């Protein structure tokens, strides 16, 4: 097996049977050597995209979506799929239950789907092939465009306009700064993320200083382009 461990994010509905199926899928993938993240602690809920989930999508190589009427109707799963698409993850739809084509997200239209309706044990060989595991048992670790820090800078910057529909507090910038510092590969990117709360990225509001999301976003993109 490769020394590098390929990693997987599993997006799923928290409703049954999706959650139980996801648990079995995660256990099966771990047994063959994958690093697996799924929402086993029930982070779903609230309006702000959870920092832990965003960081998990950034870190994983593959994004698996357990497709069912429940996951397609889930706003949380939709958000995860959108982020995975924006972040360039390798997406693999796993069909637990059929969903009509008009209800499927358009980003799934051209992707090869794998049926898991017959049960995880029977479906596992096909799932593994979809994840690049060949007859030798080696796990292929795909080139990770997110590890290239330009994509990471862009992704973090793009969270700010989205997040400001919910909040404009310093806590959100602190969260994104932490993600950027922990996921970046080189000193230039780390230095840029460390400067997100610099003096130039604040504005006066009602006589008080507040972090300015627009300035932070411009700062990230400008400094990386230098």
Residue 72: predicted pLDDT? 96
Does residue 181 sit in the same domain as residue 96? no
Q: Can you list the alpha helix ranges (DSSP code H) found in the chain?
A: 18-31, 51-59, 69-73, 75-86, 120-130, 149-163, 170-183, 187-194, 213-225
Q: Output the furthest CA–CA distance in the chain (Å, rounded).
A: 66
Please say whether the beta carbons of 116 and 96 come within 8 A. Answer: yes
Range of the structural domain that residue 182 is part of: 148-225
Does residue 168 sit in the same domain as residue 209? yes
pLDDT, one tens digit for every residue, the chain (226 residues):
334 568 999 999 999 999 999 999 999 999 999 999 998 877 655 545 567 788 888 888 899 999 999 999 998 899 899 888 878 788 999 999 999 988 989 889 888 899 999 999 999 999 999 998 866 567 777 776 666 788 889 888 888 887 776 778 888 899 889 889 988 888 999 999 999 999 999 999 878 899 999 999 999 999 999 9
Does residue 208 sit in the same domain as residue 158? yes
Does residue 121 sit in the same domain as residue 181? no
Does residue 88 sit in the same domain as residue 182? no
The Cα 213–Cα 210 span in angstroms is 9
The total number of structural domains that make up the chain: 2
What are 17-70's pLDDT values in tens digits? 999 999 999 999 999 999 999 988 776 555 455 677 888 888 888 999 999 999
Does residue 17 sit in the same domain as residue 66? yes
Please say whether the beta carbons of 62 and 8 come within 8 A. Answer: yes
């Amino acid at each position: 097996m490769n020394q590098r461990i390929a990693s997987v994010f599993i997006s799923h509905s928290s409703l049954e049977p999706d959650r139980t199926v996801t648990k079995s899928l995660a256990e099966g993938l771990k047994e063959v050597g994958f690093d697996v993240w799924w929402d086993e602690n029930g982070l779903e809920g609230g309006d702000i995209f959870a920092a832990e989930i965003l960081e998990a999508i950034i870190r994983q190589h593959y994004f698996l979506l357990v497709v069912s009427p429940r996951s397609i109707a889930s706003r949380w799963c939709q958000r995860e799929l959108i982020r995975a698409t924006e972040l360039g993850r390798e997406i693999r739809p796993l069909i637990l239950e059929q969903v009509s084509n008009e209800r499927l997200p358009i980003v799934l239209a051209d992707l090869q789907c794998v049926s898991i309706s017959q049960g995880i044990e029977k479906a596992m060989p096909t799932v593994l092939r979809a994840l690049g595991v060949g007859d030798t048992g080696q796990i292929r670790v795909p080139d990770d465009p997110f590890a290239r820090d330009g994509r990471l800078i862009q992704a973090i910057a793009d969270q700010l306009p989205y997040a400001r529909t919910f909040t404009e507090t310093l806590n959100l910038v602190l969260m994104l700064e932490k993600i950027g510092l922990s996921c970046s590969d080189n000193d230039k990117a780390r230095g840029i993320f460390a400067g997100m709360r610099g003096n130039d990225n604040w504005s006066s509001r009602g006589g008080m200083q507040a972090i300015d999301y627009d300035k932070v976003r411009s700062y990230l993109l400008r400094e990386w382009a230098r």
